[in-house]
Amino acid sequence: MRLNNFTKKNYIEIEKLFKIILKHYKKISIKGIDRNKNLVGFFFHDLMFYFASLQYQKNLKKNNRLRFGYRNNFFLFKKHKKNRNSQFIYKVYNLFSKLLFHKTLYFGYGIKLSLAQKIYLVLLSSLNGYRIELINNLSNRADFENFNFQKKILYSLIKYLSKYYKLSKKDKSQLNIDVNIFIKKIISKKKIISMNNNKVLIGSSANIFNRIAATQQDSKISSNIIFGHENHTGFTNNLHLRFNEFQYADRYVCNGISDKRLLKNSINYYNLQNKFPRLIHRGLRNKVSNLTIDGKIEKISELKGLYIPTRIELDVINSAECINHLDYQKWQNFLLSHNKNIFIKPHPKQTYKIEKIQKRKIVNGNLSEVIKDFDYLIFDFVSSAAFGEVVISNKQIIYFNIGLSSFTDIGKKLFFKRVHKIDVDLENKFEGYRNFHKTELSGKTNEFSQYFCNSESNFSFINKIFL
């Protein structure tokens, strides 16, 4: 993994933060307390997000006031909107199934299924004796084993981190207030009984309601099935996967690598207890006919390129998001001003923050349609939905390695078969950029899309949920 100095600095600090929280997590787990009911585990995501963002902003010399439990001023306990068609299908099914079945399949937030897949899920639930309960109909409460002991560990952790990150008296006070609000909102005053063989289907545990649903179940007698929200599982190798995706996962439904042997050396694909969840591949493999990417005989300066950058943010949870904003903006402006045939499609939420870009070079519209007008595409950050959307196309791709991304062994191997990699030093006058104009867009193989970013029009993965 080659990281630029700024990203590397944040990477080291985020790793330290993770180890500190994990140490306190283990103080609870060694007491035999259930994984689902570990209080530090419940707050793991929020603590990482808050303190990693705090340190990142300090390194940027910026001060975007942070609040624990908020994302871009969005309070985590604010209800998400549910798809009305989903609610109707499951509610109708529940009218009779709750009279017939005792086992429950809990359906949470962040699960993307087509209408046909939802109907198939209902059919299999019936055949396997499950009723379906929507998580937004549940109490937002959970009970934690030996709560007073766990609370003591949590507050000792917060006290330690507050001192470690040199929080002001005002910020310490606000942090304690916000944590207390969280605890009051989630703690149940009565014991919640978990029934045998319940299944919890949820998206990312970053969603507070998904987390609560997982915490309401006993991991020894129920199972959590997490639906990944990335379309290239097994490609990148980022720390946040351990507590953001796999922490509660007994099974993980993903679009990407599902063979444990290919990921066994990537520690970030193990949960906080160092156990590897069972991976369920949900996609249909892309056709072999799409594997060959034809080369271009023209000079790259004569071809039309589309640059698709990442979004600059002040709130982060993993080091791959830690970019020096000024350096990145200079890099974008440099790339555009030195290449008349390169255009840019900024992140839809980012356009107003990118400075000094000629308006005629900004491209808008649906990405999958927009790329048809270009000869090749440019990325410098690939842990994104945009990359997953276009990598399956037959377009040539230039990858400027500015030191942000981290890959698994299999991900790195297949990725470099797909793209033309150019190393650029973001912090040293863009050293390495000159190799761009020497690049010949020779033919490439898209074996990458055989493993990642597959079609989701598949039903067989639903069968595996009930096995």
Asked if 160 and 103 sit in the same domain, the reply is: no
Segments forming the whole domain that contains residue 252: 5-80+140-285+456-465
The residue among 258, 228, 232 whose CA lies nearest residue 391 is: 232
Asked if 192 and 323 sit in the same domain, the reply is: no
Asked if 26 and 146 sit in the same domain, the reply is: yes
User: Residue 397 belongs to a domain with what CATH number?
Assistant: 3.40.50
Asked if 221 and 298 sit in the same domain, the reply is: no
Which ranges of the chain have pLDDT less than 50? 1, 288-289, 352
Task: Please report the pLDDT score of residue 353 as a whole number.
Answer: 55
DSSP string, 393-409: SS-EEEEEE-S---B-H
Task: Please report the pLDDT score of residue 232 as a whole number.
Answer: 79
Task: Please report the pLDDT score of residue 428 as a whole number.
Answer: 86
- List C-alpha distances in Å: 23 to 173, 239, 265, 317: 24, 16, 22, 18
Spatial distance between the Cα atoms of 96 and 126, rounded to a whole number of angstroms: 10
Spatial distance between the Cα atoms of 348 and 357, rounded to a whole number of angstroms: 15
Asked if 248 and 160 sit in the same domain, the reply is: yes
Number of domains into which the chain is organized = 3
Task: Please report the pLDDT score of residue 138 as a whole number.
Answer: 59
- List C-alpha distances in Å: 256 to 236, 260, 262, 391: 11, 12, 11, 13
DSSP string, 175-187: HHHHHHHHHHHHB
The residue among 178, 150, 204 whose CA lies nearest residue 24 is: 150
Task: Please report the pLDDT score of residue 454 as a whole number.
Answer: 66
Asked if 177 and 74 sit in the same domain, the reply is: yes
What's the start-to-end Cα distance of the chain, in Å?
A: 38
Asked if 70 and 109 sit in the same domain, the reply is: no
Asked if 360 and 214 sit in the same domain, the reply is: no
Asked if 172 and 256 sit in the same domain, the reply is: yes
Spatial distance between the Cα atoms of 100 and 96, rounded to a whole number of angstroms: 7
Asked if 333 and 232 sit in the same domain, the reply is: no
What pTM, to 2 d.p., does this model score? 0.88
Give the 3-state secondary structure of residue 337. Answer: helix
Asked if 271 and 374 sit in the same domain, the reply is: no
Task: Please report the pLDDT score of residue 1 as a whole number.
Answer: 42
Spatial distance between the Cα atoms of 26 and 344, rounded to a whole number of angstroms: 46
- Longest Cα–Cα distance of the chain, Å, equals 71
Asked if 383 and 311 sit in the same domain, the reply is: yes
